[in-house]
Amino acid sequence: MRAFFRRCRSLQFYYLVISLVLLLALYPYVGRTGALLKVLTSVVLITGVYAVSNRRRQIAIALVLALPAFAAGWLFLITGLPLLDTVESAFTLAFYTFTTLVVLSRVLTSEEVTSDTISGAVSVYLLLGITWATAYDIVAAIHPGSFASAGILAYPDYLYFSFVTLATLGYGDITPLTDQTRSLAMLEAVTGVLYTAVLIARLVAARGWSPRQGRGQ
């Protein structure tokens, strides 16, 4: 039994990355709003809490942020009260930011590269995308008309725009119009580039690779 729980503990980031991939892969098929989309985002909250549960203080902070987001999200789905939607978005943004920083810290300080380390690195990249998507959603709710698009935007649209920006693809079908959203988009694009560069350098350092070794000398 101890071996089983030890094995589960070693796969903390694996569960998180799976939940994030499921959210990104399935959201086009579960509707732009509704219970199924809420299930996917709730699973991300749960696996996110588990991913940072190796320390008591971290899990306490994660629960303080995740539980209000979880409760407000489902209550908003039932009641439709706009205040609950605002509460959910605020706590979700704080939770994603906290989880991203914790997982990033563990990935960058890892002494060896394992499958869970790789899962953590991928999780950070995906968390960056959904964190910024939540930020765009909040800004657009506070300042309507912050984005130009062919239709009314919802959270899945901000997910799409966020990852297009993070990967610096820039399709242009959704355009930030205000200084706030343009600033967020620039910061996200820079973060995506820097994260990839820093991550590769860290993983190479963890493997002990050097140019001399790379040339087989």
Helix 35-51 with 82-108: angle, nearest 10 deg = 40
Give the pTM: 0.87
Cα 93 to Cα 198: distance, rounded to the nearest angstrom = 24
Helix (H, G, I), strand (E, B) or coil at 146: coil
| pLDDT given at position 138 | 94
Instruction: Give the per-residue pLDDT at 10.
Output: 61
Summarize pLDDT for 156-193 with one digit per residue, the tens.
899 999 999 999 888 888 999 999 999 999 999 999 99
Q: Left if phi > 0, otherwise alpha if psi is -120 to 50, otherwise beta: which for 55?
A: beta
Residues 182, 100: Cα–Cα separation, whole Å: 22
Domain 2-206, classified CATH 1.10.287.70, yes or no:
yes
- Give the tens place of pLDDT for each residue, 86-102: 999 999 999 999 999 99
DSSP letters of 21-33? HHHHHHGGGS-SS
Query: Angle, to 10 degrees, between the axis of helix 155-166 and the axis of helix 115-142?
Result: 120
Give the start-to-end residue ranges of the domains of the chain.
2-206
pLDDT value at position 62? Answer: 95
Rounded to an integer, the average pLDDT of 47-56 is 91
Q: Give per-residue pLDDT as tens, 54-83.
A: 888 999 999 999 999 999 999 999 998 989
What angle in degrees, to the nearest 10, is found between the helix axes of 56-79 and 82-108?
150
E strand residue ranges, 138-196 = 147-148, 175-176
What does the alpha-carbon distance between residue 215 and residue 209 come to, in Å, rounded to a whole number?
Answer: 10
pLDDT at residue 151, as a whole number: 82
pLDDT tens for each residue of 133-156: 999 999 999 998 899 988 888 888
pLDDT at 24: 92
pLDDT per residue as tens digits for the range 12-48: 899 999 999 999 999 888 877 788 999 999 999 999 9
